[in-house]
Structure 1
Amino acid sequence: MNLSIPATIQNYIGGRFQDPVKGIYLDNINPATGAVYGQIPNSTTEDVDLAVAAAEKAFPSWAATSPEHRFRIMNRMAELIEANLDALALAETNDNGKPLSLSKRVDIPRAAENFRFFATAIMHFASESHNMENRAINYTLRKPIGVVACISPWNLPLYLFTWKIAPALAAGNCVIAKPSEVTPMTAYLLCHIAAEAGLPEGVLNILHGDGLHCGSAMVVHPKVKAVSFTGSTRAGKDIAAQAGAVLKKTSLELGGKNPNIIFADCDWEKMMKTTVQSSFANQGQICLCGSRILVEESIYERFKTEFIAAVQQLTIGDPLEATSKQGAVVSKVHFDKVMSCIELAQSEGGRILLGGNAVQPEGRCANGYFIEPTIIEGLGPDCKTNMEEIFGPVVTLQSFKDEAEALALANCSDYGLAATIWTQDVSRAQRMASQVHSGIIWVNCWLLRDLRTPFGGFKNSGMGREGGWEALRFFTEPKNVCIEY
């Protein structure tokens, strides 16, 4: 199949491409060049109504299909994503600004894995039964909810879009989905893949637009039974308030301010290489990045020297060039936010050890949104820089004397998504892992993901869990049946 990109993309409703009802469009900007390269719909309530109607019409038939039938279609979608790796990766990089090598190595392959994993998982999804000692037996039925809304962010566009859509479809639901308006292109191309794979009309409907006009209309629609959202904590709170008012089922995967805790007995070479990656992968625009680096006092100066030297080797430039390790941040709005956060850090007394400046590469990217990887020290745990999510290529360094102080620094944030612990002491690793207030703990590694495990955070990092059985449970309703003997 030929995945071409038109100048103006359309919504995908009921198996057909459609213009937005009100004819309103948004610019699509390549962040590496700063240039407009297309138009996308800014959908409204009228478009959401059409999508919900199409999903409702398709739901009875799709819900009644066997898990094996759903597997065949979803596995075919995975195969088509893999077959179109180059086209999808290029679209992702042009939308997001990340290096093309990263799109090819991580984003697009993971999107295929998401479909294949949940296509397989639904065939093994089992319910519980409980025997009441020769009196009765109880068993649980899990039924698809109906029409559900999936709203995903801009940092890992197709990766996280499919992370939501795949379990919803596998469980037998019909989906209305909205990618970020900043990075819409791979979601548009996924429509072609769904049609080619034989996904029935109306089972998956993809709308484009901003949160105010399109996203909110999806959340409040009375026939949308559940909402799965990944994005900022601010937007998550708004969605929780809207959905909670009508007791709508919600899953919210929100921000992070993740600690990277480094003890003196770590595997030094592995720690250093991984810490560079966990700090600046995707320009720091991953909710799992370790933006607060906590280092044991006895190794702090050595760490600082070697970390700065390693980060200096990260080449910033055109994301289409194979040598570029750092691309552009996603938009001018986000560029301005990150730069203001760097200014704030300095006003709070932070010392910039490396970076802190905008970059203007030569050639086609001269007007792009590039920021140097930035390392800051001298700030305490209670300042805004160490409390609020920056979501860019910015990390802070803090030292600690012992486990107790490391734990206090790690847990002082209002967020609790992920943490990384570096130590060769197994007992210490287990003590720390049990006490750090984060939903995901990596010990001596980072971003090592098993799709069977629960994914989500504590505190302001969200509510509910995604991944594995947790995702399939979210997208189904349990019904207990009790039969007396």
Structure 2
Amino acid sequence: MQEYQQYINGEFVDSVSGEFFESQNPFNQEVLAKIPASTSEDVNLAVAAAKEAFEETDWSDVRQSQTRAQLLRSIGAQIREKIDELAEVESLDSGKTITETQLVDVHYAADTFEYFADLATQISGEVLPVPAEALDFTLREPLGVCGAIGAWNFPILFTAWKTAPALAAGNTLVYKPAQLTSRSALEVAKIFDQVGLPKGVVNIVTGSGRGVGQVLAEHHQVAKISFTGSTEVGRTVLKAAASNLKKSTLELGGKSPNIVFNDADLDRAVSAALTGIFFNGGQCCIAGSRLLLQEGIYDKFVEQLVERTKKIKLGDPLDWDSRMGPMITRKQQQQILEYIEWGKQNGMKLLTGGSIPKNPELSQGNFIEPTIFEASNNDLKLCQEEIFGPVLSVLKFKTESEALQIANDTPFGLASAVWTQDIKRALRMAKKIKAGQVWVNQYLMISPFAPHGGYKQSGYGKDLSRHCLEEYTQIKNVYVDLSEEEFLTLYE
């Protein structure tokens, strides 16, 4: 069994307590590795190392932007070189299929580091026009020590999303990956070490949300916290961060509407609906878990959707033929089954799935059949609460205004999609949907170039794109009086 160490001040070290927790394979419950169980003492050491790297070295100096860019680019290149190894770790740890981890997750992680490498040299202030003999300008400066907490469903992606922009802006970082899927971040830490990232610039501590995450969010020497996870935990993180008014970015839950009009390309829309809800077994904050179909295509669409859903192969995540792996834990599996049972008991029509698969080869895994319900209205529990599993609710609508009303009738606002050949309608809908992301004739298109973040209870602030650098910097105004005039004062 592999034993990992946390990464603090450029060294791989055990936790202060010397204790570990186990990483478990959700496909067969095999123990994969022992991970350090960090505590507040480890967080304090990591923050101290990050603080020293920020304040006592030239890492944050604007003149080091080229160096930061080169290091980020090297990290991206090394991730690409190790794609097979990293994808396997990701699949074993999370239950995601190797198809997803190798063709999507690891590539996108490399893309993210390379994108922010390009931006590292483009961070600047501006000269301001002033009606006086003076020079007025702004500086965009790094914040200092940043803290970040990742979610378990996209381990290597969140390592990249949290690390790359923080470093590009000249900050230092303490990162806590999700306890359930810590190995990907610790593997990437080996790459940080390999490319020569200066000591203390990135520190990785592993452990529980209460024992590590909350301490990091509360820490008085951490200038900013970035969190990805559930809305419930996001509230806790925000309260902790508020204790010393640190900047916060929260990317939280979703209940995203996938809206299909009568004139949509049916085949593409069905394919996208399948991807939108069953990618990563529905364990995705932007999952299209509410499918809104206009009445003219409803029957045909549902028929095709159900037929194709029944063909989805559940299996070993390392099997290239598998199209959906297990849920992350038995607890998660049970929570999803409770939602399914609620739907059955409360008048929702079950169209397919709805139980644990009967295949004995899958009996050790945390599997759930891809499940589709027909929903009579949007007030139902399965249409309002984030399930975080392979459960789709299908709703029928008549008019554009009705579709819009249903789409916005949720406490969340993370993502959405509109399927139509009418560009004017697409743009009307995009303007009125209350979500941070609107795809038109597409679903799950995430890129480092585009900002990612939500409205309402899906959080605030942005990951990705040049906009997210605003989350990792602060603006200073500098005014230089160039006149030789006497200073005007009201006082004798």
Confirm or deny: 8 A CA contact 2:123 2:169 kept in the other structure. Answer: no
In 2: Cα distance, 1:73 partner to 1:402 partner:
52
- The Cα of 1:37 is off from its aligned counterpart by 2.1
Which one of 65, 68, 71 corresponds to residue 69 of structure 2? Answer: 71
The one of 126, 140, 143 aligned to 1:142: 140
1:341 corresponds to which letter in structure 2?
A: Y
Helix, strand or coil at the partner of 2:180? coil
Q: Which amino acid is the alignment partner of residue 71 of structure 1?
A: A
- Asked whether the 8 Å contact 1:316–1:324 carries over to 2, the reply is yes
Q: Which residue of 2 aligns with 1:320?
A: 318
| Matched AA of 1:29 | Q
The Cα shift of 1:223 comes to 0.6
- Displaced runs of 4+ in structure 1, greater than 3 A? 133-137, 360-363
Paired position in structure 1 for 2:272: 274
RMSD between superposed Cα atoms in Å? 1.3
Shift of 1:468: 1.7
> 2:27 aligned to 18, 32, 44, which one?
32
The one of 5, 13, 24 aligned to 1:10? 5
Is contact 2:123-2:140 (8 Å) kept?
no
Structure 2 match to 1:473? 470
Structure 1 residue corresponding to 2:45, chosen from 42, 45, 50 = 50
Cα pair 2:437 2:452 within 8 Å, conserved = yes
Note if contact 1:360-1:370 (Cα within 8 Å) is conserved in structure 2: no
Residue in structure 1 matched with residue 487 of structure 2 by the alignment: none
Distance 1:127 1:453, change over 3 A: farther
TM-score (normalised: structure 1): 0.96
Q: Which residue of 1 aligns with 2:91?
A: 93
1:9 is displaced (CA, Å) by 1.3
Give how far 1:450 is off. Answer: 3.7
- C-alpha contact (below 8 Å) 1:98/1:319 kept by paired residues: yes
The separation in 2 between residues aligned to 1:45 and 1:402, in whole angstroms, is: 55
Instruction: State the one-letter code of the partner of 1:414.
Output: P
- The one-letter code matched in structure 2 to 1:466 is D
Q: In 2, Cα distance between the equivalents of 1:158 and 1:469? A: 20
Q: What is the distance in 2 between the residues matched to 1:357 and 1:23?
A: 41
Contact 1:32–1:319 (CA<8 Å) still a contact in 2? yes
Q: TM-score, normalised by structure 2?
A: 0.95
Please point out which of 425, 436, 441 is paired with 1:439: 436
Quote the Cα distance in structure 2 between the aligned partners of 1:346 and 1:478: 54
User: Partner of 2:374 in structure 1?
Assistant: 377
Q: Secondary structure at the match of 1:335?
A: helix
2:383 matched to 1:368? no
The partner residue of 1:290 within 263, 280, 288 is 288
Q: Per-residue deviation at 1:293?
A: 0.2
Gaps of at least 5 residues in structure 1 are 1-5
Structure 2: which amino acid aligns with 1:476? T
How far the C-alpha of 1:362 sits from its partner, in A, is 4.4
C-alpha separation in 1, matches of 2:366 and 2:245: 41
Counterpart residue identity of residue 47, structure 2:
V
For 1:294, the aligned partner's letter is L
Separation of aligned partners in 1, 2:314 and 2:429: 35
Letter of the 1:433 counterpart: A
Q: Secondary structure at the match of 2:3?
A: coil
Q: Distance in 1 between matches of 2:52 and 2:375?
A: 59
CA distance in 1, matches of 2:132, 2:114: 41
Q: Check whether the contact 1:125–1:469 (CA below 8 A) recurs between aligned residues.
A: no
> How far apart, CA to CA, are the structure 1 residues paired with 2:133 and 2:357?
73
Query: How far did residue 70 of structure 1 move?
Result: 0.7
Contact 2:283-2:389 at 8 Å conserved across structures = yes
Residue 383 of structure 1 aligns with an amino acid whose one-letter code is L
How far apart are residue 140 of structure 1 and its match? 1.2
| Per-residue Cα deviation, 1:418-472 (whole angstroms, up to 9, x for no partner) | 1000000011111111111101000001122342222111100001112222221
Cα separation, 2, equivalents of 1:201 and 1:151: 20
Which ranges of structure 2 fall in alignment gaps of 5 or more residues? Answer: 483-492
> For the residues of structure 2 that align with 1:83 and 1:199, how far apart are their CA atoms?
18
Q: Residue 419 of structure 1: SS of its match in structure 2?
A: strand
* Residue 215 of structure 1 pairs with residue 213 of structure 2: yes
Identity of aligned residues (%): 38
CA deviation map 1:146-204 (0-9, x unaligned):
11101110111101221111000111111100110101111111111001001011111
Distance, in Å, in 2 between the alignment partners of 1:432 and 1:309 is 29
SS at match of 1:158: helix
Provide the aligned length of Structure 1 versus Structure 2: 479
CA shift, 1:361, in A, is: 4.5
Q: Decide whether the 8 Å contact of 2:140 with 2:474 is kept in 1.
A: yes
Counterpart code for 1:162: A
Match of 1:163 in 2: 161
Describe how 1:172-321 pairs up with structure 2 within 5 A: 172-321=170-319
Question: For the residues of structure 2 that align with 1:157 and 1:361, how far apart are their CA atoms?
Answer: 29
